[in-house]
Amino acid sequence: MRVEEEISLRELMETILAGKWIIMAITIVAMLISVLFSFWLIKPAYEAKTLVAVNKPNLVIGSGSGWGDLANILLGMSQRNPQSYVAQAKSAAVLKKVMQRLNIDAHKTSLNMFAQQIKISNIKETELLEITVKDQSPQRAAEIANACAEELAEFVSTADKAKVQKISAFLGKQVNEEQAKLDSSVEEMKQFLKQPDSVVKLEAELKANLLLLAEFQARKANSQIETQKVAAALATIEKQLLTIPEKSELNPVYLELQKELALKKALGAQLDVEKILITAEIAQADVHIKELQGKLADKNLQSEQIQAEIDMAKQNYALFYKNYAEVKATESLKANEAVLGIVSPADEPTVPVAPNKTLNLAIAACLGLMLGMFVVLLRSYWANSATDRHGF
């Protein structure tokens, strides 16, 4: 088996050597075609590169406040991600400006064709963007690369300014609205304090009625004490009357005790009437005090609600005004701040990057050798097949 393989390999080599002139001829033709295309037919392409740096922001708005965080999100200032500018660089808005700037006819060169000439990439672990442009004209390649960098920087700067103006207008509107709410709440408090049954008046009236109630209660207590004294005096007089043997009307002691007894009974009746009247006054004062307390509670609640609105309006106004002032300061600073800066502008290339003549010639030589061997082997196969068919 091994002997047969060696014989087949030897026959293959003999066949290839026998057709070496054919292989060489085909290889030379392929190389000549490669030279023809590489040196004359294919136009050379040049590559120009521009480096753009992403600048970090110097100001962060409203640190520690919720509205400040919202402003940073809307402004896109919390982070500068170079990768985010890659898509913007090849956006239709930027490419159209580049074509207009370089007077590139949009009818002859479509936007997609123009975009294919441009490659944008972020250099790994850096804040640099690399803009690479291929064109048959070295001058045009450099012009396109530099124009792309400048238009991208202008586009990003304009977009950032628009964001700052947008959030500035939003915060300015909120400041005016909160100012109007604050003025309205203050005016409401003024009108509330001007009401006839104001909190101050109700508190004074309640205090007076509480003092009057305390006075009534003291009088009632005194009346009860006096009533007890009169009852004790009556008991004593009645006891004394029982000890007098002679109950003649001519007895002066008896008459004096009877007179004192009548006076004490009259005083007791007067004290009972006074106690009834004082009890009624106390009940009436208690009802009035409860009414005043209810009104005062309602007034205090209204006052607290209005004051809470004033405090909230003050807080919101201060917060919005602070962020508004910071955004205005940011707007002023960003007017002179370049978000993207050109680090290394593209120079006009002198050596074309395509076609690679040496590589094309090497590929043509390889293809020529392969095609030559294929032709030789195919020719040998047909020759052997013809011999077998004729019985030789």
Contact 234, 268 (CB under 8 A): yes
Least confident of 89-98, 100-109, 240-249: 240-249
Question: Which amino acid, residue 88?
Answer: Q
What was the pLDDT predicted at 392?
A: 46
The number of distinct structural domains making up the chain is 1
What was the pLDDT predicted at 363?
A: 77
Residue 277 in domain: yes
pLDDT digits (tens, 9 = 90+) for 208-226: 888 988 988 898 889 889 8
68: pLDDT strictly greater than 60: no
Q: Which domain CATH number covers 295? A: 1.10.287
Contact 3, 363 (CB under 8 A): no
Least confident of 178-182, 202-206, 276-280, 369-373: 369-373
Scanning the structure block, which residue is given the tokens 């006839």? 196
What was the pLDDT predicted at 96?
A: 87
Residue 269 in domain: yes
Residue 304 in domain: yes
CA–CA distance, 71 with 55 (Å, rounded to integer)? 19
Residue 245 in domain: yes
Residue 379 in domain: no
Residue 71 in domain: no
- Local confidence band at 12 (pLDDT 50, 70, 90 cut-offs): low
What was the pLDDT predicted at 370?
A: 79
Cα separations in angstroms, 304 against 13, 190, 202, 298, 325: 108, 13, 16, 10, 31
Tell me the pairing of strands 118-122 and 128-135. Answer: antiparallel
What was the pLDDT predicted at 323?
A: 81
Print burial letters for 345-374: b (CB count within 10 Å at least 16), e (below 16).
ebeebeebebbebeebbeebeebbeeebbe
Residue 319 in domain: yes
Q: What are the φ and ψ backbone dihedral angles of 63, each rounded to 5 degrees? A: -60, 130
Residue 375 in domain: no
What was the pLDDT predicted at 34?
A: 64
Residues in CB range of 10: below 8 A, 6 or more apart: none
Count of residues for the chain? 392
pLDDT digits (tens, 9 = 90+) for 235-277: 888 888 777 765 555 677 777 877 887 888 888 888 888 889 9
63: pLDDT strictly greater than 50: no
**pTM of the entire structure?**
0.53
Q: Which of 296, 277, 305, 367 is nearest to 34 (CA)?
A: 367
Determine the average pLDDT of the residues in 107-117: 84
Q: What are the φ and ψ backbone dihedral angles of 285, each rounded to 5 degrees? A: -65, -40
73: pLDDT strictly greater than 60: no
Q: Could you give the angle at the alpha carbon of 21 between the alpha carbons of 20 and 23, nearest 5°?
A: 65
349: pLDDT strictly greater than 50: yes
Contact 105, 28 (CB under 8 A): no
- Local confidence band at 60 (pLDDT 50, 70, 90 cut-offs): very low
What is the span of the domain harbouring residue 229?
A: 191-331
pLDDT digits (tens, 9 = 90+) for 119-141: 888 888 788 888 888 887 888 88
345: pLDDT strictly greater than 50: yes
Look at 35 and 369; give whichever has higher pLDDT.
Answer: 369
- Local confidence band at 64 (pLDDT 50, 70, 90 cut-offs): very low
CA–CA distance, 127 with 53 (Å, rounded to integer)? 6
Look at 364 and 3; give whichever has higher pLDDT.
Answer: 364
